[in-house]
Amino acid sequence: MKPDTIVKSTLDDWAEEARVPAGLADRALRGRTRRRSRTFGLAGGTSALLAGAAAVVLVSGGPVRPQTPEVAFAPVSLSKDTSLRTDLGSAFPRRLVAAGHMAVAAYYTHNSAMGAGQGVLRRTWHLYNPSTAMYEQTNWTYLSVAPGMQRAAVLAGDLPASKVGVLDMKTRKVTHWIKVDKPVGGLAWSPDGRRLLLTSYSSNPDQAGRPPGKSPRTGYYIVGGAADAGAFHALPGMPDNPNNRQDLGWSRDGKLIWAPTAQDPDKVLYDLDGRQQSKPAPSKSASKSGTAVTTEVAEEAGLSPNGTLLPKFGPNPGPAVTVTNVDSGEKVAVLPIQQALAWADDSRLFALGCDVEKCKGKGEFRNRLLLVTLKGKITPLTGYQRSDRAGSWNPVFTHR
């Protein structure tokens, strides 16, 4: 029997048993005819062709197509480096700024003030490049950096966007795009860097002129990999929050998500399916032990990594931020800073501060990024800027 006959007969038999698409044998032989110049031995050639057919059988799986396998996000690799990194030569950082376990992973400036409540707030992003240890300007509209500072989630073009890019921060290339049915305008990586929280909006959340209490937030996705966005969860904006942008965030352990409020408490907790969870009573903040302590306005830094210390604005006239032990209510420190932005570790804070001796009147807007200990030692991290002017920069912190 001729080799062609053997192959055709075998493939036809397989087509009957495995439901291989009709005509597979003929197509395979036509492909072989176009490559007549290659030697085709009976044993080797037939085996190779049958192996190729077997691969087709396994991949096709018959008329029922297999589901696209989930492409999970790779585990993050956190740096053990806790060295102090500063860039005092410029108001806008060029080199890495870091302390303890945290670093400025990116920063953004924004366009000039929008006149008469009209226009769109637009950000210009500078993203850290691990290959050069420098910040580089990007064209992305919005972004979030994963722990480990090796990848970022990015949005391009006008917001909200219909797809989310996953960017390799070293190569500066998007490795894959995640498409969404409900366009998104906010991004947040989970504390372990394995999931991505996407906040969806019906229109641009940075558009001015919308009536207070009419946030265009519609809900969210929780993405565990690059295959697709998964299920959409409806969660409209809160009517008592006048902010248009109401991005969702992760709890400290990544088991819950939260929505921002414009009152005390400043967060409402939900499980991952959008069911509201119990929350602290008014004028209280949850402590590590589950008890509650009276607070003023909590600072952006939130609880310390060990869950025991909470910075709060005041007392007036300032500049001042008070750090309190949430379990005992004890006042731990009163720091001469304007804002506590993030914890470097359990005893040091990234802060915004002005020259204390000149921090009156308009002098309060001439400030820079600082590192401050609970004992009040201050280390400048960047040069001074004017925070009341368009083009001032806003740091975004990530576990390095």
Q: What's the mean pLDDT in 379-387?
A: 92
Residues 232 and 196 in one domain: yes
Residues in the chain: 400
* Residue 338 Cα distances to 311, 320, 385, angstroms: 11, 6, 14
For the ranges 231-245, 264-278, 287-301, the lowest mean pLDDT is seen at 287-301
What is the pLDDT at residue 52? 43
Mean predicted confidence (pLDDT) in 256-269 = 90
Domain end call among 279, 302, 328: 279
Residue 229 has a pLDDT of: 87
Q: Is the pLDDT of residue 281 over 80?
A: no
Residue at 85 is within a domain = no
Question: Using an 8 Å Cβ cutoff, are 293 and 301 in contact?
Answer: no
Helix (H, G, I), strand (E, B) or coil at 52: helix
| Per-residue model confidence (pLDDT) at position 71 | 72
- Of all residues in the chain, the percent with pLDDT exceeding 70 is 75
Does residue 184 share a domain with residue 125? Answer: yes
pLDDT of residue 113: 54
Same domain assignment for residues 41 and 150: no
**Over the Cα atoms of the chain, what is R_g?**
28
209 and 318 housed in the same domain: no
Confidence of residue 90 (pLDDT cuts 50, 70, 90): confident
Phi, psi at residue 229, to the nearest 5°?
A: -80, -15
Q: What's the rounded mean pLDDT across residues 156-169?
A: 97
Mark whether 257 and 114 lie in a shared domain.
yes
When the pLDDT of each residue in the chain is averaged and rounded to a whole number, the result is 81
The answer on pLDDT for 301 being more than 90 is yes
Nearest to 248 by CA among 238, 400, 277, 225: 238
Q: Return the pLDDT at 116.
A: 53
For residue 241, pLDDT beyond 80 = yes
Same domain, 129 and 163: yes
Query: What is the predicted pLDDT for the residue at 37?
Result: 35
pLDDT at 63 over 50: no
**Cβ neighbourhood burial of 135 (10 Å; 0-12, 13-18, 19+):** buried
For residues 260 and 243, is the Cβ–Cβ distance under 8 A?
Answer: yes
Instruction: State whether 319 and 389 are in the same domain.
Output: yes
**Is residue 17 predicted with pLDDT exceeding 70?**
no
Distance (Å, whole) CA 125 – CA 187: 14
Task: Please tell me whether the peptide bond between 160 and the residue prior to it is cis, using omega within 30 degrees of 0.
Answer: yes
In 3D, which of 170, 140, 165 has the Cα closest to residue 77?
170
The 10 Å Cβ neighbour count of residue 56 is 15
Q: Check pLDDT > 50 for residue 165.
A: yes
* Plot region of 167 (φ>0 → left; ψ -120 to 50 → alpha; else → beta): beta
The Cα 29–Cα 12 span in angstroms is: 12
pLDDT value of position 376 = 94
Give residue 114's pLDDT band: very low, low, confident or very high (50, 70, 90): low
Range of the domain at 39: 3-60
Tell me the three state secondary structure of residue 368.
strand
pLDDT of residue 335 exceeding 80, the answer is yes
Residue 306 pLDDT more than 50?
Answer: yes
Q: Quick one: tokens of 383?
A: 């040069």
CA distance 220 to 183: 10
Whether 15 has a pLDDT exceeding 70, the answer reads: no
Report angle CA 155, 160, 161 to the nearest 5 degrees. 45
17-26, 124-133, 215-224 — which is least confidently predicted?
Answer: 17-26
Residue 160 is assigned to a structural domain of this protein: yes
Out of 66-75, 114-123, 319-328, least confident range: 66-75
Taking 80 as the threshold, does the pLDDT of residue 51 lie above it? Answer: no
Backbone angles phi, psi at 171, to 5 degrees: -85, -15
Residue 213 sits in the same domain as residue 171: yes
- The 3-state DSSP class for residue 120 equals strand
Structural domain count, the chain: 3
Q: Using N-to-C axis directions, what is the helix angle for 3-18 and 42-60, rounded to 10°? A: 20
Return d(Cα 305, Cα 18) in angstroms, integer: 57
Among candidate residues 290, 291, 301, the one with its CA nearest the CA of residue 333: 301
| CA distances for 260 relative to 191, 220, 238, angstroms | 18, 14, 8
- Between CA 278 and CA 284, with CA 279 as vertex, the angle to 5 degrees is 150
267 and 321 belong to one structural domain? no
Pair (109, 235) in one structural domain: yes
And the tokens for 369? Answer: 């990024």
Q: Which two tokens stand for residue 100?
A: 């303890």
Q: Is 288 exposed, middle or buried (0-12, 13-18, 19+ CB in 10 A)?
A: middle
Give yes or no for residue 5 having a pLDDT over 80: no
Q: What is the predicted pLDDT for the residue at 228?
A: 79
Residue 363 lies in a domain: yes
- Mean pLDDT of the 253-276 span: 93
Distance CA 118, CA 202 (A): 18
- Say which amino acid occupies 231: A
- Domain assignment present for residue 95? The answer is no
Averaged over 33-39, what is the pLDDT?
35
State whether 258 and 387 are in the same domain. no
- Mean of pLDDT values over 104-114: 84
Which tokens belong to 86?
Answer: 């500063």
Classify residue 40: in a domain, yes or no: yes
Identify whether the C-beta of residue 348 lies closer than 8 Å to the C-beta of residue 373: yes
Burial of 335 (0-12, 13-18, 19+ CB in 10 A): buried
Q: Mean pLDDT over residues 115-124, rounded? A: 79
Other CB atoms within 10 Å distance of the CB of residue 316: 7
The answer as to whether 384 is a domain residue is yes
